[in-house]
Structures are given as structure tokens and as C-alpha cells.
Structure 1
Amino acid sequence: MSAAVKYTLGRFGLFVVIFVLLLPVPLNLLVKAMIALVASGGFGYFLLAKWRNEMAEQLESASSRRRAEKERLRAALAGDEEAAAAGDRAAEPGDRG
């Protein structure tokens, strides 16, 4: 399971748990939901720090891959033959089946 999915499910789970704990409290349902949202954000900051950091690392690696591919494509469009050949999937020998 990806780090983003784990973190999202963790945040949602915290919200649900806090909201269920607030059900017996005599407040408006919308107020309970707002309290649960704010409280789950606070608790999630501390309890889900590991998953949040994993998600940030995953997003950073994806961003760096996209940035490198963008630079390679710009170099290929500028006429750099090596950059064009480095990204040419048709030229890769393992792709022929």
C-alpha cells in the first residue's frame, strides 16, 4: 500500500474515531463534525508523522523523476542527440518481443 493511501486512511480513521466519541455529547451534528475535523488534524500531526514523512519522500522522488524527464525532453528538443537517444523507448533492446 502506498504511503499516500496509508496516510489518507489514517487521517480519515482518526476523524471517524473522534466523531464517534463525540456522538453522545449534546451538540449539533455539524459542530461535532467540525470539532472532529480540527482534533483529527491535531492528533494526526503527531500520530501520523511517520506516514506523512514517507508520503513526502514518495512525492519528492516522483517530482525529481518528472523534473529529470522534463530536462531530458528539453535537451532533446534543443537538438541534443544523446538526450534524445536516452529517452527513446523504441531503441531499447529489451522491448522487442
Structure 2
Amino acid sequence: MSPLVKYTLGRLGLFVLLFVLLLPLPLNILVKAMIALLLSAVLSYFLLSDWRNKVGEQLGDVASRRAQEKERLRAALAGDEDAATAGDRATPVDEKVDEKK
């Protein structure tokens, strides 16, 4: 399971658990929800730190791959043939011209 899904479900689970525990209190339902939200945020900071770090790593990897692809595309647009042929989806212009003939 993806670290993002685990972390999201963990945060949601903490909120629901705390909200259910606060139900017997004689408070307005919105006040109970606000208290549960604040407590779940604080508890998730400590209890779910490992999952949060894994999500950060995953997002960092995705961002670096996107940055590399962006640089490759910019180099290809600037005329670098090696960068144009290095991409998975890129086809050199000469091959397209040969196919049409």
C-alpha cells in the first residue's frame, strides 16, 4: 500500500477514533469535531511520523523525476538530438519524415 494512502487513512482513523470518544461529552457536535481535529493533528505528528517521512520521500522522488524530464524536454526543444532520443515517447524528426515517404 502506498505511503500516502497509509498516512491519510491513519490521520482519518485518528480523527474518527477521537470523535467517537468525545461523543458522550455534553458539547455541541461542531465543538467535538474541532477538538477531535486538533487532537488528531497533534497525535499524528508524533504517532505517524514514520509514514509522514515516507510520504515526503515519495513526493521528493516524484518531484526530482519530473524536474529531470522537464530539463530533458527543454534540451530537446533547444535542439539537442540526444535529449530528444533519450525520452520514452520522443521520436526523432528524421524518422517521422522517413515514415511518410
Establish whether TM, by shorter chain, passes 0.5. Answer: yes
- Greater Rg over alpha carbons, structure: 2
Aligned residues: 91
Q: Equivalent pairs: percent with the same residue? A: 70
Q: Counterpart amino acid of 2:66?
A: R
User: Structure 1: 5+ residue runs without aligned partners?
Assistant: 92-97
Q: Counterpart amino acid of 2:56?
A: A
User: 2:32 maps to which residue?
Assistant: 32
Structure number with the bigger relative contact order (C-alpha 8 A, sep ≥ 6) is 1
> Alpha carbon RMSD of aligned pairs, Å?
1.1
**Does structure 1 residue 18 correspond to structure 2 residue 26?**
no
**Does structure 1 residue 51 correspond to structure 2 residue 47?**
no
After TM superposition, the score normalised by the length of structure 2 is 0.87
**Structure 1 residue 27: deviation in Å?**
0.3
Q: Counterpart amino acid of 1:40?
A: S
**In the TM superposition, what are the counterparts of 1:1-97 in structure 2 within 5 Å?**
1-89=1-89
Work out the CA distance in 2 between the residues paired with 1:90 and 1:83: 9
Change (3 A) 1:55 1:76: same
